[in-house]
Every structure is written in structure tokens, then in C-alpha cells.
Amino acid sequence: MELDESTSNVFVIGAGVSGLTAAYEISKYLPTIVIDRLPLIGGTHANYQNKLAISLKHKCDESGVRFLLGNTALRWAPSYQLLVVGPAGIQWLPGNHLVYAGGIRPSTQAELGILGNRLGGVLACTVAKHFLESGVCLGHRVVILGNGNSAMHVGKDVAKQGNQVIVLSMDDLGERPGYADEWWPQWTPLSIHGNGRVKEILIGKNGMKERILCDAVIFAERMRPLRNIDGAIFDHESNAVTFAQLVSDTPSLEQRSAYASEIAIKLLTVLRR
Amino acid sequence: MALTYDVVIIGGGVIGTAIAARLSQTKAKVCLVEKAGDIAEGASKGNAGGASSYYDPPGSLAERMTTASYKRWEDICERLNVPYRRIGGMIPAFTEKDEEQIHINYEEAKACGVRSEMLTKKQALQHEPMLAKDCHSAVLFADDGIIDPMRLVFAYAELAASNGVDVHFHSPVIGFETQGGLVSAAITPKGTIRAQFFVNASGVFADMISQFAEGEDFRMWPRRGQYWLLDREFGANIHHVIYGVAHPEAGTKGIHIYPTTNRSVLLGPSVEEIEDPYDTSTDAKTLDNVFQSTKRIMPSISLDYVIKSFAANRPTCEEPFFVRVDRKVPNLIHAVSRSIGVTTSPGIADYVLDLLKDSGLQAEEDLSAVLRLPFVPRLGHESHPERINLESVGRSFSQIVCVCEQVTAGEIEAALKAHIPARSIDGVRKRTGACGGRCQGAVCMAGVTFLCSAHGDQPPENILMREGGEIGIGRVHK
């Protein structure tokens, strides 16, 4: 892609509803380029029924947003250049701001402070989802950490396979999810044990401790933004990075879009100054 | 029928594979036996990758092996395509007692002929601006470096295998046949292996191997170390290895701040003498102690940057370092190193070859042996990735699989097709870094699994988290 060095390109990472919304708002005033790892729009909800994403794409096209789909952004250099890698090759593109809406991921074992080894059968919900879609059986007693949307997608599929689902939620007091055979609200996972493959998880609440026997543990707890571009892990003015996505994985697509729009408009008041 | 070799090397860690790589340059017929399903499954997969220029007092064997190794890293790593940076190491002092100790280190290093320099407080802070401001002084070892310790072991093994060394996995030595005071064959569950010489590079299990061979009596035990791994975003601010002060009464070299070759940072290790070599559990109290000790040295260290914590065990022995012919069994050679396996591995490899020749091994240099490995572009390690020539290396080197560690499909395919191939998620992680970054595989583990699956002609649920017979990602037996 040929880019004019003199233009003040804004890169938007992620072509989900948040990224598309932000790109549309920004493109009204500044040249905007949307980059996504996948060769299609919609992000986590990439399908033909995602009418919101499809209509946003049309609006972006009309507004002159350029798309680099199927490309991965890897590094945001202090010289305001973005390393983009994809079918067209490996290139540095100049730009003056990076807006990140690259999706969410579950907190890792370390981030949740869970002790124990790297064991078989312990997976992030994002990975579990891919496996379930390929018909892989994750386990016969599957502990799911978390009670949000991501947890639900995994839980329902595991239950559909005829396997037991044990749901543990650190923060949530809510209703027992319909797909859960066991429900442990406001319990904290402490450590994971096993020899090669996970065998049990130790959990705690108010000084009480319990051991849950299991053969799989799925992380879907405390979803956080997937920040994996070097130089764009934190947002502060000096590195010209803004995060335009909701962190929680429960709100609707419309709520996500509204949030991204709000962030993009705020950002524009700064950028146009 | 038993296999027959000139030399059997027992143990596929950094020392065993370094020896295998060196012997592969000769005409001797060599094999390496490893009890696990992959190489680098013991201490070699859980260390910081320090390649020091100074570690032990002058005149000791450990010092000789360090000195015989440290100047060669640029050459070795260029040939073997292993990330290495000679960034220098520093011990800052915060008390008068610390200052006394680092002066001893300074004098010792000088006596070893190693470049070392005393830094004033001002100089120390110029070298490393994030040091705590109450630092008194520091000693700098300019020739210390950092290496990717797992890639080094794979490179040694790959070079050895390229030159015809046989590597037998899932082959723990469970006994020996002896004849006239010599060991004549190693017994493994997969069969008996005859040889003229046996090299014991089995790390924490070296005492057991010696016992099986009716050799010397010594005792090994695991020393557990817990680490924090911090993100590159923090690592960008650290320019040297920062060592804790090694007070002799502590019996350890202290807790360090180790930049890695991919610019993340390791904090650790702790020191815990334990019994079970497979116990790599972590505990909150020890990890907090590691964090506090390093925060004392560098106050801006924050757990906000944590990618993961882990524990790894290093082999320990009363005699911390010995490479010699067994005193009872003249065709058994021990190569045991505590904490400095990476640092001394090139030196040990040469020295073991000398010991073998002195003992009567015919090991003429094989001039047709390869000395370098094919170049595999590593986008994540390139400061100018745009210069990678995709036309010549292939488009798969611009297909990103692991975003955090910037690992391409090309690299993963190279790992799956190597002489010593990756066959599990962990095997890919150890060779390429994929699944080992910020998100710990949340983005790429499915992709890595499907690549392993397609390459090995296996359904994805059969792909193991770790090579070694344990049940993997999804396969569950009722």
C-alpha cells in the first residue's frame, strides 16, 4: 500500500464493531486505515448476520476508510511507524496515531495469581472455542473460570457434547448458568494440580478451601483487552495509542459500538487541535 | 540386537547436546539417549540464559571452562542461528557489606583475565538509569552476555543430528551391563546400547546413573528456582544483566534481573533445596520475595508487567562442578555443572572430547561435518524485518501465527520439520516462542495445534501439550 508520508494517517487495529465504529468517526476528519489479522470484518462476531458490522463497513467505505485485512500489526515504533505483516509483505507504514480495538482475551494463569505448572487440558476460552468448533472433546469434567459471554459460549458447547460443566466466578454472584452442572459463585481459583494433565483445581472463599476434580480448566475470567503490539501495550499520550474497546465481554454489539464512537470523538478533539 | 556406538551420551540438556555437537565433528559413532520425549526437558528449559564471563574463582575447573567458552559466543551463535547479545553484567552494591563483596568479585574476575570495572554511583546510574538511587557503587563485567537457552540446546542437538548423531527419546537408562570393571552397555526400556564410552550428562539424575554404573558415589538434588517473567515493554529500559550480590554465607549467587534475548525480563531465581526433581510448583510467598528483592535493586519493577511466573529446578551437588573420568569406572565420564551449564557448555564439550581421547577413543576430526545450521528468519528478532527477502525464504515467513512473540508459520514449520522436530505445543513454544508471550497462547494456541496436527497427520485432540506420553489438549480417556 502506498501512503503519503505527509498525511496524518490514523491506524485502527481491529475490524470488529468497535474498530469499524472508531474508524468511521475518525475518517470524517482524518485519513484512516483499518487493519485486521483476519481477511474479513466483524472480529469475534464475523458472520453474514452481523448487520451492524456490515452497515458500518459500508459507511466506512463511503467515508474513504482504507482496509488492510489479513494483515497483522506487530510493532508501533516511537517514530510513528507501524510494522504490518501480511500477504503483501513486511512493511513499516507511517501514521500519527494508533487506535486499538483488537478484541479481548481472558486473564492468564499468572494474571489471576493461580499457582501451578503448565498442564495439558488448561486452555484459554479463545482457544477452547476453536477446538470445540472442530469437534474436539476438551474433557469430561470441565471447569470454566468466568461467567461472561466467552464462558457461556464454551460452557454451552461442552454441555452439548454431554460433558460436565463446573462454573466458577470470582466476581459474580448472579444466577447459576443454565449449562452449569455445578456453580461456585465468588470463589477464587488458587492453584492447578496434575501430572502432565490437569487433575484438580484448588479454590477458596472466605478462608474455606475446596478441591474440584476435573480434566480440563478453561480460562474465561476477567477478560481484558488483547494488547499485543510492541510499543502499544499501554495507552498514554506520549506513545499516541488509544484503546477504543470495552473490556468487559458482556455488553451488546450496540453498546460496544457506542463506546468506540465516544472514544473516537474524544480522540478527534485532541488530534484535530 | 543391541545398537553399538563409540560413545553414548546420557542426557539431552545443554551439556549433553553440546558434547554431542562437538563429537559430531569427529568420526566417532555417537548417540544421545534422553528419558523424556524431547530435548531440554530438565534444567535446560527453565533457566535465564546467562552466558557469563566470570562466575568462579580463578584456577577452578569451572573458571577454566567459563574462560574457554565466553569469547566464542558470537561465532557459535552466528553459525547455529541462536539469539545472543553481549550486553554486559553488573552487580550493584547497596551497603558497605555489599561493597566489600563486589570488590572481591572485581579482584577475582581480574585474576581470571576477565574484563571488569568498578563503577562509581554516578557511573552505575549512567549505565543503568533505573537502578535504585541509593546504590553505592557497582562492578561491571563487560563480556557477560545473554543467550536464548532453549534455542541453544536445540541448535546443539540439531547440529549433532545433522552430522549423524542418533538421538533416542523415551530412553531412560535403567541399568548398565558391566564387564571387567568397565560399563559395556546401557540398558533402556527400548533396548540395550553398547559402547566403548559413556558420558553422564544427566543433570540432577547424574548420581543415579553413576550408581547404576557402579561408579563414584555422590549425591545430586534439585534446587528449585522461582521466576517472574516481565513484558518487553519493561525490558526496553534495562541494558545489562543486573545481579544480586552473592554473599558467600548465602551459598547462592543471589536473585537477578535478567533481560532475555527477546527483550522480556526474568526476575529470579529463588533458592529452595527440594527432593522431587519434577516438583516445579510455585508459591506466593517465595515469588513475593523474588519480587521484593529485585524491586530493592530497581524500584520501577512492577507486577503490572508480569507475563507469568514459573519454577524450574537446577541440579545441585556438594561438589558443584566436575567434569572427569569416573574414579572407579574408567570408561564413564561425568559432566556435572551447577547453574552454569549454558555458560560452560562449549568449554565442557571440548574438554570431554579431550578426556575421551586421553582414554583411548579414536576421534579423528571429520572434515566433512557441517558446522552451521540453515538460516531460519526470525521476524521477531529482526530490528529490520522489512529486509527479510520473502521471495527467497518463502511467503510463510510473513504469516504471523503468534502475535505476541511475532512468530511466523514459516518458523513453526521449520521447527516441525527439523531433525529433532517439535511434536507438541510445548515443543513449538520451546523452539519458537509461540504461545509463550503476553497472552500465553490465547490467540495462537489453536493455530499452533492445527499446524502440529496437519504436519503430524494427527487429529488436533491428539496433539500433546508436552511431549512425553502425557495426555494432551483434548484427548481424554475414560
- Out of B426, B439, B460, whose CB is closest to A108? B439
Is the Cβ–Cβ distance between B46 and B325 less than 8 Å? no
Q: Is residue B468 assigned to a domain?
A: no
- Out of A90, A110, A138, whose CB is closest to B307? A110
Q: Is the complex ipTM higher than 0.90?
A: yes
Q: Contacts of residue B400 in chain A, CB cutoff 8 Å?
A: 37, 72, 74, 85
Q: Which of A72, A228, A235 to mutate to test the interface with B (most CBs of B within 10 A)?
A: A228
Mean pLDDT in chain A? 90
Query: Is the domain of B104 the same as that of B165?
Result: no
Interface membership of A105 toward B (CB under 8 Å): yes
Q: Is residue B373 assigned to a domain?
A: no
Indicate yes or no: CB of A121 within 8 angstroms of CB of B460: no
Mean pLDDT in chain B? 93
Of the ranges A168-182, B18-32, B168-182, which one carries the lowest mean pLDDT score? Answer: A168-182
Min Cα separation A219/chain B (Å) = 9
Query: Is the domain of B439 the same as that of B454?
Result: yes
Residue B331 has pLDDT above 80, yes or no: yes
- Out of A72, A87, A124, whose CB is closest to B403? A72
Query: Is the domain of B285 the same as that of B429?
Result: no
- CA-nearest residue to B404 within chain A is A228
In 10 A of CB B394, how many CB atoms?
16
Query: Is the domain of B132 the same as that of B237?
Result: yes
Is the Cβ–Cβ distance between A34 and A15 less than 8 Å? yes
Q: Which of residues 204-233 of A touch B (CB under 8 A)?
A: 215-216, 219, 226-231, 233
Give the domain CATH number at B90: 3.30.9.10
CA separation (Å) from A3 to A7, A39, A72, B99, B308?
8, 21, 17, 56, 39
Q: Give SS3 for B361.
A: coil
Q: Which of residues 132-151 of A touch B (CB under 8 A)?
A: 134, 136-140
Mean pLDDT of B317-331: 95
Query: Is the domain of B108 the same as that of B167?
Result: no
Q: Is residue B135 assigned to a domain?
A: yes
Q: Which of residues 454-473 of B touch A (CB under 8 A)?
A: 459-461, 464-466, 468-473
Q: Is residue B395 assigned to a domain?
A: yes
Supply the pLDDT for residue A25. Answer: 96
Give the domain CATH number at B178: 3.50.50.60
Query: Is the domain of B180 the same as that of B308?
Result: no
Where does residue B12 rank: exposed (0-12), middle (13-18), buried (19+ CB within 10 A)? buried
Give the domain CATH number at B402: 1.10.10
Is the Cβ–Cβ distance between B135 and B125 less than 8 Å? yes
Q: Contacts of residue B232 in chain A, CB cutoff 8 Å?
A: 230
Query: Is the domain of B131 the same as that of B194?
Result: no
Query: Is the domain of B258 the same as that of B399?
Result: no
The domain tally of chain B equals 3
Query: Is the domain of B324 the same as that of B243?
Result: no
Q: Is residue B172 assigned to a domain?
A: yes
Q: Contacts of residue B428 in chain A, CB cutoff 8 Å?
A: none
pLDDT digits 0-9 by tens, B8-28: 999 999 999 999 999 999 999
Query: Is the domain of B215 the same as that of B234?
Result: no
Segments forming the whole domain that contains residue B101: 84-145+221-313
Interface membership of B275 toward A (CB under 8 Å): no
Catalogue all structural domains in chain A, each as residue range(s) with its CATH number: 10-103+226-271 (3.50.50.60), 122-219 (3.50.50.60)
Its pTM stands at 0.93
Cell 489471576 belongs to: A112
What is the distance between the alpha carbons of residues B221 and A50, in angstroms, rounded to a whole number?
59
Query: Is the domain of B182 the same as that of B171?
Result: yes
In 10 A of CB B456, how many CB atoms?
15
- CA-nearest residue to A89 within chain B is B398
Q: Contacts of residue B451 in chain A, CB cutoff 8 Å?
A: none
**For residue B269, cis peptide bond before it (omega within 30 degrees of 0):** yes
Residue B280 has pLDDT above 90, yes or no: no
- Out of B231, B386, B472, whose CB is closest to A233? B231
pLDDT digits 0-9 by tens, B216-254: 999 999 999 999 999 998 998 899 999 999 887 766 678
Instruction: Name the β-bridge partners of A212.
Output: A201
